[in-house]
Structure 1
């Protein structure tokens, strides 16, 4: 298997738009958001003032997995396992009938297990250790979703959790593809999971970062990102393996590059974007004009949107005004560690179906930014390559190029 093309044959998603990747696709095409005023709660902690966010229905995971065996599994892990199961189903793979050493699971997350960690300690302090169940211990780490997923789905080839800020799930997909290329697994389930936790909501209140309205990526009137949550998982395998079992190939995984520049100032953040963008294009062996569509990480932040636009402008030059761009967070909100997987999902669907989704919330692009082409309606076209770019305000950036099914 070493050196073979890595392809994507399955997509799974549990999101504020419903169960399945098709629900995400429809919402993006319609610019239909799921934002509502709400706030997470936690026993023995003061209630938080509700604000705008995009939340997943509490029953979403159980509609896929049923309720048996989920009591000791935290919400993040339930959503991630359900998304992984959906990806397997779409690809026509039954993990129960595979050699478990042939399939692995890679997850990207920033806050996985954080609320369980807080709840574990709060309950022990408020009510005493006799009220704390030892079965909840495994839910308190970042690696809980990947670990629970591997146990439930009986996967033994590999288990990895990445927490590289908003680049985490895109890095998980890219690392998973490298794992396949090296012949270390037959299949890798890779993606991301994030829930809008009590701790995250409390931090936004404390930092004065509560959004006052819907996100407006790159818009002249943009303010702050709006938090969201969800799980997205892609199934990766070699082209030869997919063809041998008659699977439908959705897209091909191309070059990946990552970079980091300390976020001392906006220019440093933009420099990280430039490095990862140039690195991916160089490894792909193409110029920027060879990209058919861009899936950016803009979420409506004044500073980070500007830094990403600056990086794209420096690398793409005049081609940026001609290359259509989609910022999915205008519809879905900021998913932190799961954002890259959401962007990749949208890119795969665009390559497979030939229609780029519009960007919700962007009405008038900030004239101070480089000129960009951001469609307000679905845009049909022949898309051979899509570029997925993540830029985190910390100065972390990752870029992944995806190709069409034929590679």
Structure 2
């Protein structure tokens, strides 16, 4: 029998934040997903957040793309000061807004606070801007150079927090955002850190986007933050508990059976670590990167293990495919649902509702996180 009296890990979630096309909070995200709302529109996308001044009449044309655009005010002058705010990349702006939205800020125990970030495209806008300038007569903003690195947003997050613990950037495909939570939870479990800010971020880039042809889930941009802490030393009220995590790979080949096998083993691994049964899972949240084969594999694995009555949500239907943010958004969405008690009706009543988060990459890797409400 599964052990429902003792947690399988000492990791709790004490804060979640998200900035998406749906709005600037996890509440906005959950409302959109539950309501089936989609936030896609055609709009211009600047290549960089800190462009150089241009003469009147020389403003370069900006491409219009159909996507999940973040439209809110991203000014951070009151948070980081005017000089720093002007130099931040769009990825860093989204991340810091997501962090501010969940109430997290500079930490007290800087040495034992880490950052793990998932991203697939950080810095590509600045990289392309430098490339374009090198081939013409335009200048280069000095802030673009440091922003071309994949790890620049994670570094900015650590600087803002004052965190001096491990700082990792993961670019592991569709699973990157969920992997940030898996790796962060393990850092807390093995006492490397008392607090880890697990996050995911990616933004839109006009150079690689075009008008939607209606055949795929549109791209989107987003940032999500999940604050993980040791339950015994938590400085915030727990919203949920990380019960189990798993990462697997299907090995060579990306056929449907291999993807389904990877998803199946990731789910089983998370359940086994938590010592919980499939019947206790109330709902699932997935990240598929918009790939139809991945989506089919996820649904097949979930249905076979958890039953066909378990609802499955995917934020991408509302936000667009957000790259490294997809998996972290899945966790933020699940925690918000557990916190608000917005779990689907009609499922078995365990001691507390459990939520499964599952990400699968078309290359054959899969990650899973099992969450429980804090009454676990």
TM over 0.5, shorter chain: yes
- TM-score, length of structure 1 as denominator length: 0.79
Contact 2:239/2:339 (8 A) holds in 1: yes
Name the counterpart of 2:5. none
Per the alignment, residue 302 of structure 2 pairs with 312
Q: What is the rounded CA distance, in whole Å, between the counterparts of 2:345 and 2:14 in structure 1?
A: 24
Q: Report the CA distance between 1:268 and its aligned residue.
A: 2.2
Given the alignment of the two structures, is residue 273 of structure 1 paired with residue 263 of structure 2, yes or no? Answer: yes
Q: Residue 37 of structure 2 is aligned with which of 22, 32, 37?
A: 32
Change in Cα spacing, 1:299 to 1:125, as seen in structure 2 (3 Å) is: closer
Give the number of equivalent residue pairs: 354
Q: Quick check: 1:109–1:338 contact (8 Å CA) kept in 2? A: yes
Which of these residues, 393, 396, 403, is aligned with residue 362 of structure 2?
Answer: 393
Distance 1:231 1:94, change over 3 A: closer
Q: Report if the CA contact (8 A) 1:256-1:399 is conserved.
A: yes
Asked if 2 retains the 8 angstrom alpha-carbon contact of 1:61 and 1:79, the reply is no
Match of 1:212 in 2: 213
Kept after mapping to 1: 8 A contact 2:10/2:189: yes
How far apart, in 1, do the equivalents of 2:44 and 2:261 lie? Answer: 36
Separation (CA, whole Å) in 2 of partners of 1:380 and 1:73: 47
The 2-side partners of 1:300 and 1:188 are apart by 28
Q: Which residue of 1 aligns with 2:86?
A: 71
In the TM superposition, what whole-angstrom CA distance separates every residue of 1:52-104 from its partner, at most 9, and x where no partner exists? 311112623538736621222211011112212333x2xxx5525x1321322
Name the residue aligned to 1:229: 221
Matched residue SS, 1:95: coil
**Cα distance change on mapping 1:211 and 1:272 into 2, 3 Å:** farther
Q: Cα distance 1:64–1:279, how it changes in 2: closer, same or farther (>3 A)? A: farther
Q: What residue number does 2:124 align with?
A: 114
For residue 256 of structure 1, the aligned residue among 226, 230, 245 is 245
Which digits, 9 at most, give the CA deviation of each residue in 1:243-283, with x for residues without a partner? xx5x3210001211112234442222222212212222222
1:196 aligns to 2:204 (yes or no): yes
Q: Which residue pairs with 1:57 in the alignment?
A: 71
1:331-353 CA-to-partner distances (Å, cap 9, x unmatched) read 22211211011111111112122
3-state SS of the aligned residue for 2:87? coil
**Aligned-pair distance for 1:21?**
2.3
CA contact (8 A) 1:101 1:156 kept: yes
Q: Which residue of 2 aligns with 1:327?
A: 314
- Pair 1:183-2:191 in alignment: yes
| SS of alignment partner, residue 126 of structure 1 | coil
Superposition pairs for residues 134-145 of structure 1, below 5 Å? 134-145=142-153
User: 1:299: how far off?
Assistant: 6.4
CA offset at residue 303 of structure 1? 2.5
Cα distance change, pair 355–199 in 1 and its aligned pair in 2 (3 A): same
Q: Which residue of 1 aligns with 2:27?
A: 22
The SS at the match of 2:261 is helix
Is the contact made by 1:15 and 1:231 (CA closer than 8 Å) also made in structure 2?
yes
Structure 1 pair 391–4 and aligned structure 2 pair: CA distance change class (3 A): closer
Distance 2:366 2:116 in 1: 19
Partner secondary structure for residue 277 of structure 1: helix
Show the counterpart of 2:231. 239
Residue number in structure 2 paired with 1:8 = 13
Tell me, yes or no, if the aligned pair for 1:14 and 1:60 is still in contact at 8 Å.
Answer: no
Counterparts of 1:185 and 1:282 in 2: how far apart (Å)? 24
Structure 2: segments with no counterpart, 5+ residues: 1-7, 52-58
TM score, norm. by length of structure 2: 0.85
* Stretch deviating more after TM superposition (266-275 or 166-175): 266-275
Three-state SS of the structure 2 residue aligned to 1:323 is: coil
Residues 1:296 and 2:294 aligned together: no
